[in-house]
Structures are given as C-alpha cells and as structure tokens.
Structure 1
C-alpha cells in the first residue's frame, strides 16, 4: 500500500492523514469490544501513517480516552492529532441526558480530558452537539480562551447547520466540522457543505460506512448484542434494513468490478467528494483497519462515480440515521430560513 497522503483540516487547521480513525466503537455503543485488540488497532493505524484519532469524553465515560492514552504510551505526542468531542451528558446507566456546552462545563470537561489522555493539549476540541441553551458564540468563546492558554490547538464543531457555522466562525477560526457523510447520509450537501467551503472549514466525515450497513459485511439475520445502539436505529429495522441491504448489493457489484471491497468503495466515494474531506473509519479490529486502508488505493473516475450515484442515489436509504430523540439534537438537519 502507498503512503497515506495528507489533507488539511480547513484553511486554518492542521495537516492530517487523508483517513482518520474514529475510536468510539472501542468503548461504547456497538456492543462488547476487545480492549487489547482495540489498542493493537490504534497502534496499527499509527504505524500505517494515520495521524488523526477521534474520540469523545463520553465514549464509555472516559474509557475511550484512557484506551487512547494507553495506545499512545511511548509515542511522540506531536505526531498524533487527537480530536475530542465533549458536552454530551450521560447517567451512570449510560442514558443520554442532554448537552451542556456552557463555558464552565466546557473548561471542566477539558480538564478531565487532559488528565485522562495524560497530555498538555488537545489538537481539535469540539462540542458533540449544539447546546440549545447556550449561544454557540459562548461555547466557541470559551474554547478560544483555552486556545489562548495553550490547552487546545484548534476549534472544531460537530453536527451543526449553516447558520451556526457562520456564527461560530465569526468568533474564532473553525478548523473542521465533524458530520455524518456517506452514500446514504447526504443531507449536508444542500447547505452545510457549501457553507463550510465558503468559510474555509474542513469536513471530518464519520459514519462513512453508515455504522457497518455499507460495509458489505452486514446481514439481515445478524443478532445485535446488548449495548449496541443499532438495535434502535431506524435504518437497521425490518423493511428498512431489507431495502438498505439491497442498495448495498448494488454497490457490491460495482466494487467487484473494480477489484475492491464494498467498504473500500464506500470510503473512497466519500474521499472523492473533495480534498477538504477526511473520512473517519470506525475500525475496531486490525483486519477491518487493513480493509479501510485499502480504500486509499481505490481510484474512482467519473464513470465510476456516475455508476455509484445510479446504484445508490441521494435519499435512497430507508429510515433516519438516528432514532427520533437523537435526531432532535442535530442542528445540521435543520434548514436555514
């Protein structure tokens, strides 16, 4: 495999590997994970040239940050970009309790994150969702003070809409917007992506395999273990799942003709949407990481992109990307007026 190329996170952000590693599933939300294999996967990613690791302080309630700390032990901290989301509030039972991105909560959350990661700075710090109780200017202003103090290098956002992006960027440069983007999650293309490009804000795209749905490894009879949120995700239910897996079969035929896997073509499609986009892959095991890295060698020409578009048109998926309670937190899904 060729060396991993780099892409800059927006006009003002750092250079990152053209593929990032999303670590959430190593601690939370996708059922049980193997901690030793997770650490080995993070190390394999870094050894392969991936420099961007994405986490959240609420992934496993700090477990994910501690896992990343363990994986980075003995490595050059400056060679790794750590992106951290904060603000999601959860109970001891894992229940979602809302968002707190007020200035005091923002600074407190970072203090705990720095301790768990055993580092003196976070490379990109971002609220996981817009806090409806706190103007975005106040949240970004608080992170800007942390940038000034040297605790944060760059400010990012997650799942916000065009208006919020503009308001945030007026306070401090925003490096990147983390948002779901895949062949079957394309709502950002209407307003959010053009606005980010106008403002010079990069995109770190998560969910590029739609939580495994587009991986080519999902089957209709797969049993989900406890703690796997896909058990309540509309796209994984009944007729929706059957419809969506039929789309994946169409994609599989295109992939086979390219000599690639379904997952590789799905990742390559996201990467092909612009040099300002860095796909994040949620590999929890080294074999899945190896497959994802292979996407960097998949070249999609205009004919390929047209064939993919015909096979999986925008809005072709059945079901929302989250259950209704979580969709309500997505500022990115609200249209500007």
Structure 2
C-alpha cells in the first residue's frame, strides 16, 4: 500500500489507517472475534496505522490491539492513542483531564494495556479548557525525550490552539473530521498545517456512516450514539440522503460505491492526509481497501463538487451539548 508521512517529523504509515473505536461498541454491539480478525486482516493487507483511545471501551480497545500485535507485529505498525476523556462507572464520559500529571498517568496505563514500551503518536482527545495547551503539550514533549512517545498529535483543535501547541513543540499531525460533507478545515486549519509540516489524519471520512448507504438508511440501533447527532435526524437526514443520491450518480460509472468514492475523495485531497477508516468487520475493511490505490480524475472531483458543494450538508456535526470525544478515528 502507498505510504504517507504523518507530518514532517512523524512516522511513515499506510495511506489508509484503521480507526478502532467502533470495535469498542460506541456504534452498537460488536463481535470481539470479528474485531480481532479484522485487525489481523488489516495488518495482513499492509495497514500500518491503528488509531485508538484509552477510553474506547475503558481500556478494552487497547487490550484488543495488543492481542492483534503479538507475535512480533508491534514493530510493523504505528499506534496512535488519544487520552484525557474521563469515564463514568456506567460507561459514560464525564469531562476532560489533560493536566501534566494526568498525561503521565494515562500513558503508564496505556503502555501496560498495549503491551509495549512506546506509542507512536500520543494526543489529547480534546484540549482541556482548564489546562493551557502549552502545559499538556509540554508534558508530552517530556515523554518524547524519555522515549515513551515518538510524535505529538492533537485532535479537534481550532487554529489558534494549534498555533500555540506547535510553538511549544512541533506537532506531527492533527486528527480532525474531514469528508465530502465536512470541509470546514479547508478555510484556515488545513493551510496552517501545510505551511508548518503538520499532517492530517482525517476521521469521519464516511460521515459516521451517512456516506455508507447500507448504514445511512437504517434506523440507528440501541447503543448507537449517532441517533443523537443532528445530521441523522428528521429533515436534516432527508436532505443529506438526497445529497448521497447525487453522489451515487457520480460513483456508479466508476464502479465504486458511495462509500468507496468518499474514501477515494479523501485520499485525493493531498499526500499529507491519511484517512482513518472505522471498519468493524472484514467485509467493511475489504470495501475500503479496494480503493486504496484508486486515483480520481479531475473530472471525477469536479463531479463530486457539483453533487455536494462545500457546506451543503444539513445539521451540525455534533449535538448542541457535545459528548467530549464521541467518535474520533471512526467512520
């Protein structure tokens, strides 16, 4: 598979990464055996970026990845870990903690669960409003010096916070939502990243399943957090499904599904962008990897633009009272 670099100083990874949050049950029930088989299939197919969070399954996702990476496979991949989300005993999320002492404590547990001596990219899931970003990044920088972290990442920060963080220590990559339906980063964040050698790991490439027709037209199931997201509700959903109908007319002549077109579109946005796909099954993984080497033409890209101009999606990305970090690294 094509290799891309996560920023000027980050690791070289496969052009498509695998986001593992869906394997922790946030989009409904999961099959652990199938999740493990999907992870191993991804490694066999050359996927070398695995994205997780220490709060995905309250640590269970990291343990699952550790199982997949046994027998000498750890050195074949880059593992990206988010931290800082506080968990409730019942499984809910209760805020953020990115104090320096919390950074060190979180990493200690992550290393144990992952059965490794380092993580390749370490990032706060969101900036903690009570802790200056300089303090959080400074604490991770100390872990870089100590050899426990290879590269510092960020997730879902605004341009000002990104600048302050990068002034404290070079940032390898920013994980942020980027898809045909969500293109806000093109205004300010993406230009800043490109000027400063910061890579983009793009999550939400399928807009949480909206751009995967088999899932976007199904009623959300119990335990599936998408039911509370504005783009999946009422008139917003009807409007967005109409946009997907337009994308289907673009996809069909190319022999791709709408989901595959969305992945190919993200790959075409630049070699500094690594889409992270939230496949939970081997079938979903195979569908995504089938377009890893597809190159859309200018005519294809123009047709996508006509079907879904920037800003045309209906509904906000998150509810008015957002969950701290609902689905980074996922669909």
Cα distance change on mapping 1:191 and 1:328 into 2, 3 Å: farther
**Quick check: 2:2–2:293 contact (8 Å CA) kept in 1?**
no
Alpha-carbon distance in 2 for matches of 1:75, 1:17? 19
Alpha-carbon distance in 2 for matches of 1:116, 1:76? 16
Q: For residue 300 of structure 2, what is the aligned residue in structure 1? A: 304
Q: For residue 254 of structure 1, what is the aligned residue in structure 2? A: 250
Q: For residue 128 of structure 1, what is the aligned residue in structure 2? A: 125
Match of 1:313 among 278, 300, 309: 309
TM-score when scaled to structure 1?
Answer: 0.94
Q: For residue 267 of structure 2, what is the aligned residue in structure 1? A: 271
Alpha-carbon distance in 2 for matches of 1:251, 1:297? 20
| Shift, 1:163, TM fit | 1.1
**Quick check: 1:22–1:280 contact (8 Å CA) kept in 2?**
yes
Q: For residue 318 of structure 2, what is the aligned residue in structure 1? A: 322
Matched, 1:116 2:113: yes
Alpha-carbon distance in 2 for matches of 1:295, 1:327? 32
- Please give the residue correspondences for 1:20-169 in structure 2 after superposition, counting only pairs within 5 Å: 20-169=17-166
Alpha-carbon distance in 1 for matches of 2:89, 2:37? 28
Alpha-carbon distance in 2 for matches of 1:175, 1:135? 19
Report SS of the residue matched to 2:240: helix
**Quick check: 1:184–1:312 contact (8 Å CA) kept in 2?**
yes
| Shift, 1:102, TM fit | 0.6
Q: For residue 213 of structure 2, what is the aligned residue in structure 1? A: 216
Matched, 1:206 2:217: no
Alpha-carbon distance in 2 for matches of 1:328, 1:149? 29
Segment of structure 1 superposing worse, 197-206 or 223-232: 223-232
Cα distance change on mapping 1:328 and 1:27 into 2, 3 Å: closer
Q: For residue 333 of structure 1, what is the aligned residue in structure 2? A: none
Match of 1:286 among 276, 279, 282: 282
Cα distance change on mapping 1:141 and 1:219 into 2, 3 Å: closer
Alpha-carbon distance in 1 for matches of 2:17, 2:79? 10
Q: For residue 169 of structure 2, what is the aligned residue in structure 1? A: 172
Alpha-carbon distance in 2 for matches of 1:329, 1:264? 26
Match of 1:229 among 218, 225, 244: 225
Report SS of the residue matched to 2:290: helix
Alpha-carbon distance in 2 for matches of 1:261, 1:223? 20
Cα distance change on mapping 1:191 and 1:329 into 2, 3 Å: farther
**Quick check: 1:124–1:153 contact (8 Å CA) kept in 2?**
yes
Report SS of the residue matched to 1:178: strand
Which digits, 9 at most, give the CA deviation of each residue in 1:211-266, with x for residues without a partner? Answer: 1110122354x232222100101111111111111111111111111111111110
Q: Alignment length, in residue pairs? A: 326
Residue segments in structure 2 that go unaligned for 5+ positions in a row: 327-331
| Shift, 1:94, TM fit | 2.2
**Quick check: 1:265–1:298 contact (8 Å CA) kept in 2?**
no
